[in-house]
Chains A and B, each alone.
Chain A
Amino acid sequence: MATVELKDVRKVYAGRVEAVKGVSISIPDGAMCVLVGPSGCGKSTLLRMIAGLEEITEGTVSIGGEVVNTRGPAERDIAMVFQNYALYPHMKVYDNMAYGLRNRGMDKAEIDRRVREAAATLGLADFLERKPRELSGGQRQRVAMGRAIVRSPKAFLFDEPLSNLDAKLRGQMRIEIKNLQKSLGVTSVYVTHDQVEAMTLADTLVVMNQGRAEQIDTPLAVYERPASIFVAGFIGSPAMNLLPAKGTQNGLALAAGGTVNPKETALPAPGRDVLLGIRPEHMTLVNDATAADLELKVTAVETLGADTLAHGYPLSSNGRSEPLIARLPGSVRVKDGDVLPLAVQPGMAHIFDAATGLRI
């Protein structure tokens, strides 16, 4: 158990490709830090640098207060759970879990105690004599977890551990991982591209884009106050609506036509080019057009039961490509061609600078 500190960590590959462009993260003892981002954003590279599987070009990685840049993966006292589990196919479950301990010269009785304890925690006690190929995906995932647990390391590193499971199992394992991590209290770094996993697991959420950490905050803060257009578009499903607009004296003049004056929102200086961001779930259906901030011309409807997603465009844009999505209660009946008067919930509008993409 220990803190994990990254200071200005950079990774430049031989071909001068800069995969990670200076990331600093500080993870307190026992916390779960989730790195999320699209593929190629450098999140896995960052994790592998913490693990010691990838050399660090610049900056420092410290685990438990000690800089570990020059140490090999085995000397960093970390345990890693891989995407494809990376179980040793020729070894029984027991040996898979015991292997790392044996290599450290731990005595047999202690290894046995730890393996059986971990197996009991993970519900693997009946499978210790099996080979990995005789197990289901979820069980293999547990063995991989077990291999990490028995070591009682300073930190757990997870590299998209759930991406090979089916949706139902993924949800279940997500909760199990969260509970396990909480009860063991081991500092963890978790890489995923799945925002639901990111939101539910994280104490600290790091949204990465093109080798940079775009925002580091709690999951709710990231959702409520995205720092940039990228974060706004990445976290939340369906993605936040982003409408080009310009600041005026009495509100925001949409490029699509019409003026919006969202309540409890600091307006940008007149003449400034901005993007108005509104989450689909933060628009409410109102009775008449005069009370509405926006009017949505519906072109497609997704009825999900609990919710109804209305896809379309702002009426004033006359069908130019300005997509707009609203998430309405499932009880609302909507059909193609409807015009919906929508109000933006107070304080729920986000304004980003059009040039820099940063929050204003």
Chain B
Amino acid sequence: MADLAQPATRAVALGRKEQGGMLGISRGSRYTAHAILIIGLLIVAFPIYYTFVASTHSLQTILRPPLPLLPGGRFWENYTTALFGGIGRIGGVDVSTLLFNTTVVALAIAIGKIVISILSAFAIVFFRFPLRMFFFWVIFVTLMLPVEVRILPTYKVMVDLGLIDTYTGLTLPLMASATATLLFRQFFLTIPGELVEAARVDGAGPWRFFKDILLPLSKTNIAALFVILFIYGWTQYLWPLLVTNRNDMNTIVIALRKMISFADADTQWHLVMVTCVLAILPPILVVVLMQRWFVKGLVETEK
């Protein structure tokens, strides 16, 4: 019966689509909707396109408006200079160093946060230990104390520990995260108690349960969190600004800021634009590559 019914339903669905799609929206309003979407897309995309265009022209062309709307011929030259030649205003450091720094920082923050928070959520949800709720609330309260609020004491600690201008100093204070812990806690709470008990009957100890059941079930959550945290780490501004003095320890966002002078003539705009484009690329890549997982993590849980 079901097999017979299926083609018929599909035919009905197709028929409706031809008449103007689901929900009975008319053709005209569909075009309008698309037009609005396209206009919105252009408004968002144009500055990025323009940045790219600017990154392929010489400084002279940029400084003499209007800037052409089409890419120029200095793509290769500008990009190699920026990536490997060193940029004067930031002490001759090249952009590839900056990219490397920022990648290390963003990855360390994302991975560190995920590891710490998934483990603490695991402890809080699945174990009964003294002061469990106390610890939960201690983690929870740190939500109200973001880096900016505790920045002076944190800075003092970093100086005392000699962690200025190190990757540890750049990432450690940003790692402990109440948000991610809460997210994992909420997810773990939705895991049916019977599943935990089935694992116990099947002879899985806490570590096996974590590795064989909890981690695979959390992978979409982890992926979504990774995307969010990678971008969070990539775009950090205030903390890297404070904790780095040496130019070769800067992240790309800080360097970008340093590359811009008040006087237009001092600023190598073409290199600034190249750096901008390069700064945007990795987060875009992460989002594009992990989009499927990211959406899955936000929408569904495999249960």
Contact = CB atoms under 8 A, between A and B. Distances in A.
Given A88-B213, A90-B216, A72 B200 contact: yes
B200 A73 contact: yes
B217 A74 contact: no
B21 to A, nearest CB: 29
A331 interface: no
A51 B208 contact: no
Contact of A74 (B192, B202, B213): B202
Instruction: Give chain B's interface secondary structure class.
Output: helix
A73 B201 contact: yes
A103 B208 contact: yes
Interface in A80-114: 80, 82-84, 86-90, 99-100, 103-104
Pick from A51, A87, A89 the residue with the most CB of B within 10 Å. A89
B156 interface: no
B201 A100 contact: yes
Interface in B270-303: 302-303
B217 A89 contact: yes
A49 interface: no
A108 B216 CA distance: 22
A78 B195 contact: no
B217 A51 contact: no
A75 to B, nearest CB: 8
A53 interface: yes
B203 A74 contact: yes
Interface in B135-193: 192
A145 interface: no
A90 B204 CA distance: 16
Contacts of A104: 203
Contacts, number: 57
Nearest to A131: B302
Nearest to B218: A90
A84 B212 CA distance: 20
A79 interface: yes
A84 to B, nearest CB: 5
B78 to A, nearest CB: 48
B302 A74 contact: no
A90 B221 CA distance: 14
B5 interface: no
B302 A89 contact: yes
A39 to B, nearest CB: 17
Contact of A86 (B192, B203, B208, B217): B192
A78 B201 CA distance: 7
Contacts of B204: 74, 99, 103
A322 to B, nearest CB: 44
B201 A51 contact: yes
A79 B201 contact: yes
7 contacts: A73-B201, A80-B201, A86-B194, A88-B198, A90-B213, A133-B302, A147-B202
Pairs of residues from A and B, 10 with the lowest C-beta to C-beta distance, nearest first = A100-B202, A74-B203, A86-B194, A86-B198, A103-B203, A90-B216, A82-B194, A73-B201, A73-B200, A80-B201
Interface of A: 51, 53, 72-74, 78-80, 82-84, 86-90, 99-100, 103-104, 133, 147
Interface of B: 192, 194-195, 197-204, 208, 212-213, 216-217, 302-303
Given A88-B199, A133-B302, A147-B202, 4 more contacts: A74-B203, A80-B198, A90-B217, A100-B201
